[in-house]
Chains A and B, each alone.
Chain A
């Protein structure tokens, strides 16, 4: 479903991803683990089309289409969703307004009917209850004054409402206490389905106790250096990333 081959991405003049190759079949959850500075967040940004993250070589095919040729909004409409490591505050725009505007923009791009206000409210009520979120919070400007945990829940809520097919979770566990982590993980697991692919980017194994990956990949120095089953995550937890780090010359 997602096929990345020999991807090189530079930020400014600095190469970050240096020949990353990865396939995620439909219905699977793949974890990307790696030390700090390996290029994990860069992978998320490159897939979602953040300006300044330039692909200098390689290709990304998403459902058979050249993903790198699309604008960020076009990618979103085709199902790409990035849950941000640090969700952005949008002053003056109520969370509800933001999400509905985004949802309808995507629907328009896909030539679908827009969601009416009452239907949208119904969707939000159900989704926010599942994530144990206070509905009144959604009337406040998006992420402004939200705690770290609230922001992460807000990301998952958006994910649930926008119903993407490529779900990229960037360090979703950071800043979450154990209860919040469980709720968020439940929210993510509820979205697992045979027609979705999921990339879970994380530094720690902890999150993978709750979101069970089909495959685990180690990203170091801009490339996938090892791949395996869930047991690889446990091994990393025990041994650390040292053996994947470039040896001092």
Chain B
């Protein structure tokens, strides 16, 4: 299989963190620190309507009154929220209309990252150009969104959320904060106050989105928080597959990334949301630097028979705090969570999902695979909750942990609340160590130690990789190999 071959080549050829470069882009900053004035500054920069500013200010007030959560199994130096830039934007002409108007320096960054922004190349049928639409978010702003026109032909709206606030304020106002309320948690409140960009997706009734949509997040500026906001609305009977990717330069200081993703699925709608998260994980030996990834992702399966599927491959970040969840309101709605969390060096991950069953006969499925190496620590934290009125609920949960070496940790913390006797909930969990027998067997057949680890780990996470769109599965497979380089001594 080509993918495995590529995995192995990737191991051999690549540096430990290949996206660690910094780009020298002329950048405009808001003054450092956070205040109501900074919130106003961001809102004004974006040319937002008055109601949006008030919404942000209310969120800011709520945030001031909240305390940073400490229940996750992660340890880190407190974040100094006044020592961050909340807005950093590459200087360029106001809202480039086409790719030609985008700063070539910026395009070069994305080219280096392997992100296809050359819509023309794809349209012209250039060989090998992947056919999916990209919204490229650089620090605080979206720099370009491809295929907008082609998507508009079928009524699909795919644009930066800042633009959607101007062009489709009624849709944004109706749904923004309806899944993750501003006061949901500390980081969600912070995001609501200062988010600067992100993607907005609307799929009209009955439309099957003709291509994969993706947003690619890049943090470049130093001392800058990235607060993106993504809102996806799948109207009745529609379908969309969406992918998010992220990278950041190697820096000694920690950087904060506090995103909010809201998904609304109406009757018979289906949304597949995939993430390949590869933020800079910090120095593997000292733990210095790296991204704090404090993210709130939630889907509201509002409609009957609606379906949302989260797939995540988490390989980066110094600290991950993330629980993509589904509120299963609709009857026979279904939620899925497929996760691969790989930690190495000094990384810490506390991640999992919440499946809140409110609708009758709603179903959920959770497959979580944790791979821990080095001195890292990984926790699966999940909640399956069944409302008293939700009859016929089914859930299946499987949590598997693979330990590489003797200094890492892995924990599984499942919460189950069944308030209806008809619920059928299954939970399976395993913890295994990468076996010497398997390693030797693979080496005896000709694989080097690192190739053997990559192959075995890819086998361990295969169930989840299969849930990713194909191009990204290959990408993720490579990432698995790279993330575990040097994990066996």
Residues of chain B within 8 A of A196, CB atoms compared? none
A165, CB-defined interface residue at 8 Å? no
User: A162 touches which one: B443, B446, B448, B451 (CB < 8 A)?
Assistant: B446
A10, CB-defined interface residue at 8 Å? no
Q: A92–B459 contact, CB under 8 A?
A: yes
Closest approach, in angstroms, between the C-beta of A179 and any C-beta of chain B?
26
Closest approach, in angstroms, between the C-beta of A109 and any C-beta of chain B?
7
Residues of chain A within 8 A of B446, CB atoms compared? 73, 76-77, 102-103, 105-106, 109, 162
Interface string of B428-465 (1 = CB under 8 A from A): 00000001111011111111110100011011111100
Q: How many residues of B contact A (CB 8 A)?
A: 28
A141, CB-defined interface residue at 8 Å? yes
A87 and B442 CA atoms in complex are apart in Å by 11
Residues of chain A within 8 A of B449, CB atoms compared? 71, 73
Closest approach, in angstroms, between the C-beta of A111 and any C-beta of chain B?
14
B8, CB-defined interface residue at 8 Å? yes
Residues of chain B within 8 A of A141, CB atoms compared? 459
B5, CB-defined interface residue at 8 Å? yes
Residues of chain B within 8 A of A105, CB atoms compared? 8, 445-448, 451
A87 and B443 CA atoms in complex are apart in Å by 13
Q: Closest 3 CB pairs between A and B?
A: A92-B459, A93-B459, A102-B445
- Nearest neighbor of A76 in chain B, beta-carbon distance: B446
B4, CB-defined interface residue at 8 Å? yes
User: B445 touches which one: A89, A97, A117, A158 (CB < 8 A)?
Assistant: A158
Residues of chain B within 8 A of A91, CB atoms compared? 459-460
A-B pairs with beta carbons under 8 Å apart, 27 shown: A48-B444, A71-B448, A71-B449, A73-B447, A76-B443, A76-B446, A77-B446, A80-B444, A81-B444, A81-B445, A88-B435, A89-B438, A90-B459, A93-B455, A93-B458, A93-B462, A100-B1, A100-B4, A101-B5, A102-B446, A104-B8, A105-B8, A105-B451, A106-B445, A109-B446, A117-B1, A158-B445
A165 and B444 CA atoms in complex are apart in Å by 14
Interface band, chain A: 35 or more
Q: B436–A162 contact, CB under 8 A?
A: no
Q: A92–B443 contact, CB under 8 A?
A: no
Interface SS of chain B: helix, strand, loop or mixed?
helix
Q: A101–B447 contact, CB under 8 A?
A: yes
B13, CB-defined interface residue at 8 Å? no
A98 and B459 CA atoms in complex are apart in Å by 10
Q: A51–B436 contact, CB under 8 A?
A: yes
Q: B444–A92 contact, CB under 8 A?
A: no
Closest approach, in angstroms, between the C-beta of B367 and any C-beta of chain A?
12
Q: B436–A101 contact, CB under 8 A?
A: no
Closest approach, in angstroms, between the C-beta of B8 and any C-beta of chain A?
7
Residues of chain B within 8 A of A77, CB atoms compared? 446
B2, CB-defined interface residue at 8 Å? yes
Q: B444–A76 contact, CB under 8 A?
A: yes
User: B443 touches which one: A73, A97, A98, A114 (CB < 8 A)?
Assistant: A73
A224, CB-defined interface residue at 8 Å? no
A88 and B441 CA atoms in complex are apart in Å by 7
A84, CB-defined interface residue at 8 Å? yes
A104 and B462 CA atoms in complex are apart in Å by 21
Residues of chain A within 8 A of B458, CB atoms compared? 92-93
Q: A90–B441 contact, CB under 8 A?
A: yes
- Nearest neighbor of B435 in chain A, beta-carbon distance: A88
Q: B8–A101 contact, CB under 8 A?
A: yes
A76 and B441 CA atoms in complex are apart in Å by 11
Residue among B436, B437, B442 facing the most chain A CB atoms (10 A cut-off): B442
Residues of chain A within 8 A of B2, CB atoms compared? 117
